Structure 1
């Protein structure tokens, strides 16, 4: 079974060539409500694996200089792959300027070997959907051995030790982790992290269980609940209907002071007159553009030193 897929044009990460470390079946330590894969029992080890030479040979066939990132993922959790550290070393030998990225649910950071393996990657995306143990168990349905307080401790430690590009992803499920109390707890943890970007998302594929996401408007409102110094980005465009609201110049500056926006956000939130006011502020250098990962944000010039930096 093929382990390589893509390349896929990812808005957040660029041209991505994927490596599925569990191509034959779902092997995960979570059984998330929102997962696009069918429900399955959680596991803490991979019983079905692909050997490293097979992966590397397939990667060589598809890798070229147009690929921005080689993305380690899986039908499940990629860090359960038992030879992850050795695989990363072999990929590093052939990747040239292409960067390595892993998409992980963060739970195995409690394993020192996994923790150290991820330090070798160019980019890491950690998921963190909840801080409260009860909410965490409802959304992510983890293996019995996993507790969110241990994950949070290691996520904080990893963010301090890691030298590459670090991203956090929070996926909101309606009625579970979208409450002000849970967002407050997430905010308190996020303020302790050194990260490049925090992506807020919601359900945008058919989920494993009968749950629903929240709207773009609700995501935007949730983003304003987080501290203004955090590099928040709304990653999901589910149900993103244009708001077309009118903003004065002062309101535009106040909005960007609270939360940097991409032009996609602007196109959804602003009417045409407001966009023209925005362009005037850009020409006056009161608003500048800042690249973070593969995304371009609009921020206040006076906030350049405190926004969007690790």
Structure 2
């Protein structure tokens, strides 16, 4: 058991929810999936087991604290450093919050436990449910979400449809796109079919904007998100600002350049190399290699050496 004095964090400013006060129901990183883009990090405990990840008295105390802070937030959000519905007290927590908190109640979920009737029925009573759905077919689902082996995408979609029909509040479905993973034309078509079937109140598009669990997860451009939004229908909105996304993409590119620079320098340290050899080894343009080598030469790290009419670069 992880000992904590409170499960509250925030309020934090949220573009979707305004001032959001969070209550964490599971510790890092207990989850039913191991999404490659997760900002919390890699899942360390992949499970479907529902248990007391935090005790009821701590959850109750945190909800009562939230009641005292009610004038500081717009929405009370149940979340976790993993899937919140894994906590066995999830339903009880929602009922207490709904009873004593006047502000809207929201829940962030990956929708993997909606087949449990009590989870679905209590979620149906909250004001806003924000489930994630990043894939429209099983192949993409496994690549991007890396779920527990017993989880099936078709079951998630079916249960989201059931929840949508049963709920009194609103469903805001989030899709997070990762370059080269779930941005294919096929997945887009399959997602559109799932969206049309589920019929959420809103569909919110996002991409990688914080350091992901797996380095392969890269952001999509704002232009690509706009293109996807137009294809997916009128309920769709992009929840990342263009300016922020452009800064994120630049940061990712800068980090990638720095990584390539380090790899090229390490390569030259081991053996003198030509521009052509480095271009082939790292699958990058000769011009890019040449520019990196110029920087190394200006820094005094590398020098040119002519051998049998060929220009080699060696560590100085």
TM over 0.5: yes
Alignment partner of 2:70: what SS?
Answer: coil
Q: In 2, are the aligned partners of 1:160 and 1:194 still within 8 Å (CA)?
A: no
Quote how far apart the aligned CAs of 1:55 are: 2.1
2:55 paired with 1:51: yes
Gaps of 5+ in 1: 242-310
Quote how far apart the aligned CAs of 1:126 are: 0.9
1:250-269 mapped onto 2 (5 Å cutoff): none
Alignment partner of 2:60: what SS?
Answer: helix
Correspondence for 1:190 among 187, 192, 195: 195
Quote how far apart the aligned CAs of 1:223 are: 1.1
1:280-291 mapped onto 2 (5 Å cutoff): none
2:163 paired with 1:158: yes
Alignment partner of 2:71: what SS?
Answer: coil
1:164-175 mapped onto 2 (5 Å cutoff): 164-175=169-180
1:4-23 mapped onto 2 (5 Å cutoff): 4-23=8-27
Alignment partner of 1:225: what SS?
Answer: helix
1:153-302 mapped onto 2 (5 Å cutoff): 153-210=158-215, 211-227=217-233, 230-237=234-241, 238-240=244-246
Quote how far apart the aligned CAs of 1:186 are: 0.7
Shift in alpha-carbon separation, 1:106–1:87, aligned structure 2, 3 A: same
TM-score normalised by structure 1 residue count: 0.73
Q: In 1, are the aligned partners of 2:11 and 2:72 still within 8 Å (CA)?
A: no
Aligned residue number for residue 32 of structure 1: 35
Alignment partner of 1:65: what SS?
Answer: helix
- What's the CA shift string for 1:209-243, capped at 9, x where partnerless? 0221101111111112223xx310001235347xx
Report the number of matched residues.
Answer: 237
Q: Distance in 2 between matches of 1:149 and 1:89?
A: 28
Shift in alpha-carbon separation, 1:93–1:226, aligned structure 2, 3 A: closer
Quote how far apart the aligned CAs of 1:192 are: 2.1
Q: Distance in 1 between matches of 2:196 and 2:141?
A: 19
Aligned residue number for residue 101 of structure 1: 106
- What's the CA shift string for 1:154-185, capped at 9, x where partnerless? 11121122120210000001011111211111
Correspondence for 2:133 among 128, 136, 154: 128
Q: Distance in 2 between matches of 1:205 and 1:90?
A: 33
Q: In 2, are the aligned partners of 1:217 and 1:240 still within 8 Å (CA)?
A: no
Deviation beyond 4 Å, 4+ runs, structure 1: none
Aligned residue number for residue 270 of structure 2: none
Q: Distance in 1 between matches of 2:130 and 2:168?
A: 13
Aligned residue number for residue 116 of structure 1: 121
Correspondence for 2:144 among 119, 139, 148: 139
- What's the CA shift string for 1:2-51, capped at 9, x where partnerless? 3100001111111111001124x311000000011232241112455222
Higher helix proportion (structure 1 or 2): 2
Alignment partner of 2:49: what SS?
Answer: coil
Correspondence for 1:91 among 92, 97, 106: 97
- What's the CA shift string for 1:127-166, capped at 9, x where partnerless? 1100110100010000011010111111112112212021
Correspondence for 1:149 among 154, 159, 174: 154
Quote how far apart the aligned CAs of 1:66 are: 3.6
The alignment's C-alpha RMSD in Å is 1.6
Quote how far apart the aligned CAs of 1:59 are: 3.2
Correspondence for 1:65 among 71, 76, 99: 71
Q: In 1, are the aligned partners of 2:21 and 2:76 still within 8 Å (CA)?
A: yes
Quote how far apart the aligned CAs of 1:83 are: 1.5
TM-score normalised by structure 2 residue count: 0.71
